[in-house]
Amino acid sequence: MNEIKLLKRCLDRLRKSIKSPGLWGLIFTIILIFNFWAKPALTQQPVTITALINAGEVPYWKKLIVEDFEKENPGIHLEIIEAPNATDLTENLYTSAFILGDSPYDLIYMDVIWTGKFAAAGWLLDLSDRMSENGLKAFMDKDVEAGRYKGKLYRIPLRSDAGMLYYRTDLLEKIGAKPPETFEELINISQQLQEKKATPWGYVWQGAQYEGLPAMFVEILEGFGGFWVNPETNEVGLDKSEAIQAVEFLRRVIDKGISPPGVTTYREEEARRLFVNGKSAFLRNWPYVWASAQEEDSEVKGKIGIKPMVHLPSAKGGACLGGWGMGIAKSSKHPEEAWKAIQYFTSKAVQKRFTLETGNMSSRRELFADPEIIAKYPHYPRLQTMVESAVLRPPIAQYAQASDILQRYLNAALSNRSLSAEKMMKSAANQTRRLLGTT
């Protein structure tokens, strides 16, 4: 009450001291502007959009993306929530969030294998009209295709991935060997180096029961001329002789002590650490390893090469297509802001910054010829060729269940080598056929 009286008194005094009616008009206009424009603008909260990002990438997002994005878009706050590093665990988080109700995430950072499932379940916004076919040409075809489901576009590619074989150039030189082309050469070189005590292990890879296992396995399968599921016909190839030979190869490298027995529990990071610490001649992994292998504390700095996976002389080496892209949750209350964020993340400048810092592969074609990137990562142009001829994990809506079946039987066959590989793969194949309704 006292305050109102005081305000009245002040206004009275002001009125007495200001005689000119023009000045009153000016004051009135200023008050109007303040109330209707400046006050809301000053008190308005930015719209918050959320994204769930793999833990390993979070520091880069915070350092390279968030601050700059918010500076360019002052009305939007981008909140990054940390996801586990294992893709299957992150997929489970999304799945339970979507099943329980509206997703708490506006932006859906998606592995290349999720589009079918998420789109079929109706969880994603159709982005087909937001980007022209011409705009999409800036990205690699396989990465774009991985974002489509039944002709519609649900995911814009950010970064690509391709599985590859890393090798130690210094060790190969020591025995005058060329990088291996075939499975037998990989075994022979590993054994020679191990006999000379040049390396404790020959070959490390991902054998744990998780999504990295099928990703690694499709490369070995391709090298034996086999296949997992034909997405056109739903034919299952897991119990064919090529697939059984692929399993036998992986069991053989463990039995011969070329791969450590613990490899059946390794994910990307366990395998990478062994290699970067100089404990293995060969490593199967994704492009991100390159940057960490060149750091000062790496035992293999300046001593590594990459090539596509080894194969039978009669077949070709396969690189599994991996990669991550952004979609928008259908339940998002801020689809326009989320789309602005996607446009920003996929822009050339941001992609270049991210690539230079992380060594990851961008999905933007033009960056493979970028002189600054090539100066830092001379192997970069070769990565593009690998992606262009990469092998896909089957792009089917039931992919998560199909992968789960393969992971269980394959990991059992690798961990318990007294089991028959043929029996395990028959069971995996039959369960997959039941899943796809082809028995």
Interface positions with ligand GLC (CB under 6 A): 87, 111-113, 161, 211-212, 215, 268, 286, 322-324
Of 127 and 289, the one with the shorter C-beta distance to ligand GLC is 289
Nearer to ligand GLC, 240 or 272 (CB): 272
187, two tokens: 């075994």
H or E, element range at 388: helix 380-388
Instruction: Find the shortest distance in angstroms from Cβ 344 to ligand GLC.
Output: 21
CB of 159: closest distance to ligand GLC in angstroms?
Answer: 8
Q: Which is nearer to ligand GLC, 87 or 398 (CB)?
A: 87
- The angle formed by the CA atoms of residues 258, 261 and 263, to the nearest 5 degrees, is 90
Q: Residues 379, 217, 390, CA angle at the centre, nearest 5°?
A: 40
How near is the Cβ of 354 to ligand GLC at its closest, in Å? 14
**Considering only CA atoms, which of 115, 249, 279, 260 is closest in space to residue 185?**
249
The nearest distance, CB 327 to ligand GLC, in angstroms, is 15
Q: Are 395 and 146 in contact (CB under 8 A)?
A: yes
| Cα first-last separation, the chain | 83
Q: Could you tell me the smallest distance in angstroms from the CB atom of residue 430 to ligand GLC?
A: 25
Rounded to whole angstroms, the Cα distance separating 240 from 297 reads: 45
| 363, 390 Cβ separation under 8 angstroms | no
CB distance 387 to 321 below 8 Å: yes
Listed in sequence order, the residues at least 6 apart from 397 whose beta carbon sits closer than 8 Å to its beta carbon are: 116, 117, 120, 149
Cβ proximity to ligand GLC: between 237 and 322 the closer is 322
Residue number, 111 or 239, with CB nearest to ligand GLC: 111
Residue among 112 and 274 whose Cβ is closer to ligand GLC: 112
CB of 323 to ligand GLC, least distance (A): 5
Q: How far is the CB of 255 from ligand GLC (least distance, A)?
A: 25
Q: Least distance (Å) from ligand GLC to the CB of residue 271? A: 11
Question: Contacts by 141-148 with C-beta closer than 8 Å and gap 24+?
Answer: 141/388, 142/321, 142/387, 142/388, 142/390, 142/392, 143/112, 143/323, 143/325, 143/363, 143/387, 144/363, 146/112, 146/115, 146/321, 146/323, 146/325, 146/392, 146/395, 147/115, 147/325, 147/327, 148/115
User: What is the spatial distance between Cα 260 and Cα 256, in angstroms, rounded to a whole number?
Assistant: 9
User: Smallest distance from the beta carbon of 158 to ligand GLC, in angstroms?
Assistant: 11
CB nearer to ligand GLC: pick between 161 and 337: 161
Q: Which is nearer to ligand GLC, 289 or 350 (CB)?
A: 289
Residue nearest to ligand GLC according to CB distances in the complex = 322
Q: Is the CB of 160 or the CB of 190 nearer to ligand GLC? A: 160
